[in-house]
Amino acid sequence: MFDFSVVTTWIDDLLRQYMNDGWTLFVEFLLIGIVILALYAVLALFLIYFERKICAFFQCRLGPTRVGPWGLLQSVADMVKILLKELIHIKKSDRFLFRTAAFLVIIASVCTFGALPFGNGLQVIDFNIGIFYLLAISSLGVIGILMAGWASNNKYTMIGAMRSGAQLISYELSCGLSLLTVVVLSGTMQLSEIVAQQSEMWFIFKGHIPAFIAFIIYVIAGHAETNRGPFDLPEAESELTAGYHTEYSGIQFGFFYLAEYLNMFIIAAIASTVFLGGWMPLHIPGWEGFNQVMDYIPSVVWFFGKTFCCVFFALWVRWSFPRLRIDQLLRLEWTILLPISLINILLMALCVL
């Protein structure tokens, strides 16, 4: 399997031939930032198109068809429209917090996105506390949502922000405990090491029943973390118009829109990394010929293939179930998922011992 660190090392050596260490690091940081932001934007546009087509399929419609072949440029047209929209300032709102909230949400999403291992040797930064970093930095988005709801000076946005804060803080517990179950199994929080330990078999298979339970709980809680249906109480159109970002327009609304779609991708990417082997191919012990064929598939294809399978499952759930009430949503977490997660992590510890 091709190792992308060969390419990154070649670029580093090439830059060091013409620059000192300081300028080399500066150029590398700049290149990485441009690549991450470009990939972030392209994935968001694709996910918007992908969801529209999947939604149309479930509802026996065609979805976008007119802008570009098969409607491929519809998301690009929407992006241009958002960029050209006027930024409307709300009277009696806290302008500083109102503007800062959108940036805080997008920064938390981008920082989480940048730590994902996209392929063999294709990871921006590899912390030895990678799982802890993902949980910590992704939680910053809650602050931006609460700031947006409060600073808008609107009762609908405030109710939406409070619902979102309660929902995200609650379901982060189950998300964190599910990931800690894998940390107990692997003995490390470093994402590259977690992926490397799944070279022979993915954790969802070799982690026994506790790993499978943790995967199911993570998928449910992660779906709730993204505020997607049937967990979209913070943006319930029939009750709260657009929820916490009702008063936003133009690029500021675009930031919330981008973060929502990329958070869906990030949740799926973490699930594929931690439970489904990340960029590791499917290996079956004893099937050497099959394993060699799987190794010919590029690691990037494996990563994005698994991630988009998880995204498709999330969209399937969204367009299949009705919206929950807020009391049902919180009861699901505190009385069902959280106790099961606590018992499950104890079972995994016993299995490891």
Please state the φ and ψ torsions of residue 28, each to the nearest 5 degrees.
-65, -45
pLDDT of residue 239: 62
- Secondary-structure breakdown of the chain: helix, strand, coil percentages, each rounded to the nearest 5: 75, 0, 25
Residue with tokens 């940036």: 103
Average pLDDT score over residue span 309-324: 88
Residue 286: pLDDT band (50, 70, 90) is confident
| Cα 194–Cα 105–Cα 54 angle in degrees, nearest 5 | 70
pLDDT reported for residue 254: 87
What are the tens digits of pLDDT across the range 225-255?
Answer: 887 778 877 666 666 666 777 888 888 888 8
Quote the pLDDT of residue 320. Answer: 86
pTM of the model as a whole? 0.90
Look at residue 180 in the predicted model and tell me its pLDDT. Answer: 94
Using a pLDDT cut of 70, give the percent of the chain over it: 97
Q: How many Å apart are CA 282 and CA 201, to the nearest integer? A: 7
| Rounded Cα gap, residues 259 and 164, in angstroms | 14
Using the predicted structure, report yes or no on whether residue 259 has a pLDDT greater than 80: yes
Confidence of residue 4 (pLDDT cuts 50, 70, 90): confident
Can you give the pLDDT at residue 236? 64
Helix or strand (DSSP H, E) at 162: helix 155-186
pLDDT tens string 157-190: 888 888 888 888 889 999 999 999 999 999 999 9
Q: Interior CA angle at 132 toward 129 and 137, to 5°?
A: 120
CA distance 329 to 342: 19
Q: How confident is the model at residue 306 (pLDDT cuts 50, 70, 90)?
A: very high
Ranked by mean pLDDT, the top range of 158-162, 295-299, 315-319, 338-342 is 338-342
Distances (CA, A) of 111 to 77, 171, 172, 329: 27, 20, 17, 28
In this prediction, residue 336 carries a pLDDT of: 93
265, pLDDT greater than 90: yes
